[in-house]
Structure 1
Amino acid sequence: MAAYFIPSRIHPTAEQTDLQTATQPVVLGEANAGAAKTTTLALRIAESLARNVEPARILALAFTPEARDVLRQRLLDIGVPWDTVNQLDILTIEDLAMRTLEQLEGEPLKLTLQPRRLKTHVWRAIDAVAAQYAGRPGSRYAELDLRKSEIAVSGYLDTLLRLKARMALQGEHDDDPVEAAEVAGEPLTDYLVALAYETIRLDGAEQAQFRTRFDPTYDLARMLRREPGCAQGFPRYRVIVCDELHDMNEASFVIVEALIRATGAFFTGVGDKHQVIHDQLGASHDYLDFRFRHAFPALRSYPLTTTYRHGPHLTLAIDALMDNRGSSGVPDHTEIRQLHYDTAEECAQRVVEAIKAWKKDKHRLEQCAVLMRDRHQSIALENALIEAGIGYRVPVMKGYMQREEILFLRGVLAITLDDLRAVPSYEVRTAIVEALAAFAGMEAAAGFEKVKHDIAKEPSLLPGFFRGHLGGDALADADTAFADVMRYLAEVAPDSPAGEVLAEVCRRMDVAVVAKRVYVNPYAASVAARSIDGFVAMARKSGLGLAAFWKKINAAEVFASRKREKDFVHLDCVADVKGQEFGHVIMPYLEVNEFPNPLVPARTERNLFYVGVSRTRQRLTLLSPTEAERRSGFLRQMQIAAVAPKADQALRQLEDKVREERPVRLYLTARYEDREEVRQLGAQFDTVRKQWYIDAGLDTGPFQRWL
């Protein structure tokens, strides 16, 4: 079917046009990375506008505010006027849930986002679980691990989010929490705290007493399951589109399915099954296949295989990796550089060299991203960047010196040297006290909050507090591992080798075991343990005494925390940059047991690697060990050398195609008062872009003053 809407600035592929003009009630676009998913949805919306669908009856959904804003921009990019875009409903699913709940409940909906208030609710839930289950002799609940540290609270909230996303808090095992926790794949302690938290939040009834992030989505999904008729309250949309379907979970699917059925709207969703990386939050490729197809048997799928992000050389290498079929619409050679290293520090130096080469080639640093598999890898990388004077940002993950396991070791140094005051940030000082308490096994009593802030205000209180209150009232008689560490540190001189002291602290604490207790989740515990190992190795390599090492890391923190508007590189984990793109992507530590991580399902790891390599436009730098047997298997699967001849040919064909392409329409600058004249000359009016145009084959002579 011929398209009514002709966009500006782009030439849609046949695949995009097929999806733009599809007539089936439910349509899915199965896309590759960079295949202009969002632009294709924008074309679908613009086509509906061109076919006289009122803007107010079109809903565009996304999963994040960033994706929502990108969709709005893509509509403007293809030529939809700003005032028309402003009339569309362009929302996140959370936005839609909040708006719907406000209408159903008849009052404004406010979210509780302050960590302090959320922590209070979690503490109440922990107390409720302790009162109901803890201490029962011979009970299955005898080994509950109920802690109130900041790390524990964060872990409970993460568990709660996973359970709500999967709609796994209520089900057929409600009468047996032990079995329900096993089915949900969560520790029993975390599951019971989640149930108690929800009881508090709902006050034993169905009306929420407070809500935080994702609660509106979850509450609306629960309501739709319990009372399907409330879906009739949705606005009468005629067209609905949804971006990034690979991030869909059960709660959002319940809402979208109910929305389609209640409104009878034409629905179009796009996603990339290979970008499913948030398994724990309920994301699954099933939604792009089985779930939608089962709910809507007449569904029609359309492929979007042409990427507009990178050239054929990377596209064909990605196809080999993913056993996929794709093509590139970019007539450029995307470089793939492979570098090798023997040690973690050497890998970090190779990263610095790659960044300098990018800058030497007259590119902006802000377009360069170093993407890691896990946060523990950033220790060597951050230190190398600092030593090279290269500014960096860590937009999502914390820099290594702000992570709990490293804050604990920094606390050990602060106690030994009695110098917490050297940490300039009040917030970091409080975090150090909290981390010390968590790793030492200290319960967060009601008065601890005040003590924590008192120490941050008056750092000289730190050594006395921990020496006197952890492990018993009398440190000399206490038999805890942390008390043993405190006794050891009391005898350590300020010029003692920092690496040896920290290694001895870790040995006495058995930090790998402590990390499992603190983080519970085996994967999170393993990352924390590796992070600690990296920090100790850094201290050893420095050759500095405690006092000199303490001064060095505090100065490094000041450098790393500077606010930068330009001349910085991005440093982040692959999982946190999905949906973004960069001119140059550098992926370090591509080795066995690092990427892929053996604790994560193989398919998820491959998807994650795919997300990383597909973020780049111009250059991809891959760093792996010198020894071939230590290299990540993903590099071999890309078949970079083998696909190069075919990529060269594809690039030549693209270059020829660009030279041959001509615009389908020529748009005019005719004003309102010129309308009759241009119409008589043969011009036509584009109702979506609100501009006069002529077909490319028409003689342009009479229209010169408007071209």
Structure 2
Amino acid sequence: MVVRNAHNDVTEWDGEESGVEQEPELIARTADELVGDLNKQQSEAVQYRGAALLIGAGAGSGKTRVLTRRIAWILSQFGAWPSQILAITFTNKAAAEMRERLTALIGPVAQRMWVSTFHSACVRILRRDGKALGLKSGFSIYDSADSERLVKIIATEFNVDVKRYTPRSILGRISDYKNQLIGWRAQLAAYAPDFKPGSRNYRISKFDNVEELYAIIYAEYEHRLAMANAVDFDDLIVRTVELLRDHPDVADYYRHKFRYILVDEYQDTNHAQYVLIRELAGVDAGETPAPTATAAGRQGPAWVTVVGDSDQSIYAFRGADIRNIQDFEEDFPNAKTILLEQNYRSTQTILDAANAVISHNEGRKPKKLWTAVGKGEPIVGYAADNAQQEAVWVASEIARLHAEDGVAYSDMAIMYRANAQSRSLEEALINAGLPYQLIGGTKFYERKEIKDALAYLQAILNPADDVNLRRILNVPKRGLGARAESIVLEYARERGTSFFDALMHMEQIEDMPTRTAKGLKAFRDLMASMSAFARANINKPSDIVAEVLAKSGLLEELQKSVDPQDQSRVENLSQLQSTAAEYEQNTPDATLGGFLETTALVADSDQLPNGNEDSGKVTMMTLHTAKGLEYPVVFLTGLEQGTFPHSRSLEDTAELSEERRLAYVGITRAKRRLYITRAAVRAQWGQANEMLPSQFLEEIPDELIDWKRRETGSERMRTGWGDGDEFGGWDDEDDFSSGPTFGTASYGSYGSSHGSAYGSGSTGRWGSAAHRSNGSRSGSTYGSGRSSGTYGSSSRYGSHSSGTRGGRISTRHVTPKSGGTSMPVSSLQKDNGLNIGDFSIGDYVTHDQYGLGKVVDLQDKGRNSVITIDFGSDGVKRLMLRVAPIEKL
């Protein structure tokens, strides 16, 4: 249907939008209603009239409000139709929030607008027009598990060593190609021109270049996706770009339809997404941009608004290209940038810390967050002897905040650089009896029983989908193992057809065992029966799910099981049916295909709790997962060189810059209170390493941090403080009222002030001989003092290696001082050179896992001597001395 808007522009509406009489009414908003409560920069961004706008939205600066208000402004002040707007973000949750806010602003018409993720928008385009690329509308969408399974099948058939070249690593390389829009044909022409996709009995016996291996598997992978009428996640973007580039009529339709394109989180876009936006907007179509004051997006390329923060670009490992946002003004004609610097989330102290850290990144556009909220409380710092002590202190502080200050558990979050750090933190929370939720475990749609059920549904909808059909051939077990599968598969390969087609013609397969034939026929009849039911109830996905769970035997097998874990799997399948019912209720034109699409497009972050929900639990997650979230109280843990920043970044300027942006993200997640912690010793790859303080700590102004414990026990011992003090240098102001005990004393909770404890006895910021200031503050060093490598713009971090910025800065293995050996103390060697005669009851030692301890008993048994040490909260440990990872202090 064709309709006209206030400018008398002709607009073609999609089928679901056709019929003006059925369209919800657009609520008109006055200019004051839309910008009256915004600050100056926000208001300017909402009202800007021009072809290209970059809104540089700092953390917590109200970007979603600005983006939704701008959409409402375009509709009410520019006179655009809702169908002319395409708003894109990265997660379903963000899209739902944007749609909800728009509904409040402009009414129910917002529910009919294209407000979606990149992938959801591309699915809609490919469902409608993918036939031009050979895609049937019912194509399957493979998630990473499906794609890995297909790559493994191909690699195994091609005689590739899947232990050396894992399916995940191969798929990662293929994903890199796709994100850069490098097609399989180009790779094949460059590295394996003789290979023909679909070749039978092909074997890779040797290859001169690993790129040849990747090129061959890439080509075969794409060939089999096409045969299965399937696409993977990357294809959703890539194939849409291909469609727009190779089919001008399709491109013209969407360029005419979408006159205003708005993209959230633009700093997270990869190259393929960048090109997609340009193709949809028609920026490279050779048209002259519309005059700023009059046309308002009605002529020439569409008007493009992007919102993002280059300081929060942290997904390079997923292919995100920070240049997309950094070079926006050069990439889009007549582009304007408006910075949003007023923060509505955090205190000024937190923002000052974030500004100070990120300012060390070179090449960034200056931006300084500020707030009217006030200075707030100082950042709290804590230096632990090891990861376990760090975790215990974090847990005790959470318990104190909840008990004394009334902070809800759900208002507190623990963040870390890598998932491996969560173990000690989890143990401490469990031991303290604190409720928590760990974000990043096995996701609902990745659970085996859910994948099995969805595989049945996919095979019903798209029988050509070999991966899913082969997955369920013997699930639950029905006597159709690898032999039966290979018989059908061989027949399909000989005829160049699908597994489903071979199954349909199984009677023509010669010499098939009678038992196998009987089992295959029963499976085929089962699938036919469920397919017939699905066709008759296509608009009732929940009924189809129920039918599949019952007829397939999936539910019955789990219900009969005596394994207690299977009961939770039954509950998961019940939840899948409930999810289908919920989709059905919320979607007027619900279909099985639509339901499967929603399950396929669930993003990692969509499992995160909503900010207004009180889960009653402390949240634990990686910093990458935390982006976009906020909590009143945040514990940022593991601030050591090699942990955060990650060891990989210490040799690479670009990676170090991204690590600093990750620190900026972590700091700005906190609203009222921020805690930063580090450990002197942390286990990595089964070995305990002495960790230097993170350079990010040096970059935060010292006056912003209230150190509850500035130095670790081993650092204090090295200074020689507190001579005659039986505790080896604890400060007079340290509070030993709680925490694990060492004999009659304890550690764990420390006074709020470090005050005079660091007075004239302090040597450098960290006050220890090992971390002594060398020269001016701008040249402060960490490490042995023998050599240094420069990082960032102001600090040097010494190590046993030397050199310039490119020199590797590595952590040092803790080594015993007696016996003359340089063996790492964490190595469980046959003899570490320690002698029982060198120890006495009352001696203090450090252990690379348990930290500081006191010797309470000795048993001289020669080579098998035993030393007993009290490690406070970690208990009293009896250790065989010759393998004990300890050092006498």
What is the TM-score with the length of structure 1 in the denominator? 0.60
Question: Could you say which residue in structure 2 is the equivalent of 1:311?
Answer: 347
User: Partner of 1:338: helix, strand, or coil?
Assistant: strand
1:146 pairs with 2:200: no
Matches within 5 A, 1:169-568: 169-170=183-184, 174-177=188-191, 189=213, 192-203=216-227, 209-227=229-247, 230-234=250-254, 236-261=257-282, 264-290=301-327, 292-323=328-359, 324-335=366-377, 336-360=379-403, 361-397=405-441, 566-568=615-617
Contact 2:678-2:693 at 8 Å conserved across structures:
yes
User: Which residue identity does 2:426 align to in structure 1?
Assistant: E
C-alpha displacement at 1:391, in angstroms?
2.3
Question: Could you say which residue in structure 2 is the equivalent of 1:638?
Answer: 700
User: Which residue identity does 1:38 align to in structure 2?
Assistant: T
- Cα distance change of structure 1 residues 83 and 174 upon mapping to structure 2, 3 Å threshold: same
Contact 2:383-2:390 at 8 Å conserved across structures:
yes
Question: Could you say which residue in structure 2 is the equivalent of 1:494?
Answer: none
Contact 1:98-1:109 at 8 Å conserved across structures:
no
Question: Could you say which residue in structure 2 is the equivalent of 1:71?
Answer: 98
User: Partner of 2:232: helix, strand, or coil?
Assistant: coil
C-alpha displacement at 1:5, in angstroms?
2.7
- The correspondence for 1:12, drawn from 33, 38, 55, is 38
Contact 2:416-2:638 at 8 Å conserved across structures:
yes
C-alpha displacement at 1:606, in angstroms?
0.8
> Quick one: distance in 1 between partners of 2:70 and 2:144?
40
- Cα distance change of structure 1 residues 20 and 113 upon mapping to structure 2, 3 Å threshold: same
- Cα distance change of structure 1 residues 343 and 629 upon mapping to structure 2, 3 Å threshold: closer
- Cα distance change of structure 1 residues 616 and 283 upon mapping to structure 2, 3 Å threshold: same
> Quick one: distance in 1 between partners of 2:91 and 2:441?
17
1:618 pairs with 2:672: yes
User: Which residue identity does 1:297 align to in structure 2?
Assistant: P
Question: Could you say which residue in structure 1 is the equivalent of 2:150?
Answer: 121
> Quick one: distance in 2 between partners of 1:186 and 1:221?
28
> Quick one: distance in 1 between partners of 2:674 and 2:76?
40
In our comparison, the structure showing a higher alpha carbon Rg is: 2
C-alpha displacement at 1:120, in angstroms?
4.5
> Quick one: distance in 1 between partners of 2:279 and 2:418?
38
1:58 pairs with 2:85: yes
C-alpha displacement at 1:303, in angstroms?
1.1
Deviations, residues 554-584 of structure 1 (Å, cap 9, x unaligned): 9xx99xx9x9973211111111121121221
Contact 2:148-2:171 at 8 Å conserved across structures:
no
User: Which residue identity does 1:166 align to in structure 2?
Assistant: Q
Question: Could you say which residue in structure 1 is the equivalent of 2:110?
Answer: 85
Q: Which moved more, 1:27-36 or 1:194-203?
A: 194-203
Deviations, residues 442-477 of structure 1 (Å, cap 9, x unaligned): xxxxx99999999xxxxxxxxxxxxxxxxxxxxxxx
Deviations, residues 630-686 of structure 1 (Å, cap 9, x unaligned): 211111212151699xxxxxxxxxxxxxxxxxxxxxxxxxxxxxxxxxxxxxxxxxx
C-alpha displacement at 1:172, in angstroms?
5.8
Question: Could you say which residue in structure 2 is the equivalent of 1:537?
Answer: none
Contact 1:59-1:239 at 8 Å conserved across structures:
yes
> Quick one: distance in 2 between partners of 1:124 and 1:626?
46
C-alpha displacement at 1:615, in angstroms?
1.2
> Quick one: distance in 2 between partners of 1:362 and 1:189?
59
- Cα distance change of structure 1 residues 640 and 452 upon mapping to structure 2, 3 Å threshold: farther
Gaps of 5+ in 2: 1-28, 194-208, 286-299, 360-365, 453-469, 478-564, 573-606, 650-654, 682-689, 707-889
User: Which residue identity does 1:354 align to in structure 2?
Assistant: E
C-alpha displacement at 1:230, in angstroms?
3.1
- Cα distance change of structure 1 residues 356 and 110 upon mapping to structure 2, 3 Å threshold: farther
Question: Could you say which residue in structure 2 is the equivalent of 1:571?
Answer: 620
User: Which residue identity does 2:76 align to in structure 1?
Assistant: A
> Quick one: distance in 2 between partners of 1:116 and 1:173?
24
Q: Which moved more, 1:580-589 or 1:620-629?
A: 620-629
Percent pairwise identity: 23
> Quick one: distance in 2 between partners of 1:178 and 1:591?
45
Contact 1:313-1:643 at 8 Å conserved across structures:
no
> Quick one: distance in 2 between partners of 1:245 and 1:178?
36
- Cα distance change of structure 1 residues 212 and 332 upon mapping to structure 2, 3 Å threshold: same
Higher relative contact order (CA 8 A, sep 6+): 1
Q: Which moved more, 1:60-69 or 1:219-228?
A: 219-228
Q: Which moved more, 1:368-377 or 1:618-627?
A: 618-627
- Cα distance change of structure 1 residues 119 and 268 upon mapping to structure 2, 3 Å threshold: closer
- Cα distance change of structure 1 residues 385 and 110 upon mapping to structure 2, 3 Å threshold: farther
> Quick one: distance in 2 between partners of 1:161 and 1:366?
36
1:590 pairs with 2:639: yes
- Cα distance change of structure 1 residues 569 and 127 upon mapping to structure 2, 3 Å threshold: same
User: Partner of 1:567: helix, strand, or coil?
Assistant: coil
> Quick one: distance in 1 between partners of 2:392 and 2:705?
29
Question: Could you say which residue in structure 1 is the equivalent of 2:174?
Answer: 160
1:111 pairs with 2:140: yes
Deviations, residues 525-558 of structure 1 (Å, cap 9, x unaligned): xxxxxxxxxxxxxxxxxxxxxxxxxxxxx9xx99
- Cα distance change of structure 1 residues 31 and 42 upon mapping to structure 2, 3 Å threshold: same
C-alpha displacement at 1:169, in angstroms?
4.2
Deviations, residues 515-534 of structure 1 (Å, cap 9, x unaligned): xxxxxxxxxxxxxxxxxxxx
User: Partner of 2:171: helix, strand, or coil?
Assistant: helix
User: Which residue identity does 2:634 align to in structure 1?
Assistant: V
User: Which residue identity does 1:122 align to in structure 2?
Assistant: V
| Count of matched residue positions in the alignment of Structure 1 and Structure 2 | 472
C-alpha displacement at 1:228, in angstroms?
5.1
What is the TM-score with the length of structure 2 in the denominator? 0.48
> Quick one: distance in 2 between partners of 1:639 and 1:280?
30
- Cα distance change of structure 1 residues 177 and 17 upon mapping to structure 2, 3 Å threshold: same
> Quick one: distance in 1 between partners of 2:186 and 2:168?
28
Contact 1:125-1:200 at 8 Å conserved across structures:
no
Gaps of 5+ in 1: 131-143, 180-184, 403-424, 431-446, 455-553, 645-707
> Quick one: distance in 1 between partners of 2:248 and 2:321?
24
Deviations, residues 101-152 of structure 1 (Å, cap 9, x unaligned): 122135534434477754552233214543xxxxxxxxxxxxx63349xx93
> Quick one: distance in 2 between partners of 1:213 and 1:333?
44
Contact 1:338-1:623 at 8 Å conserved across structures:
yes
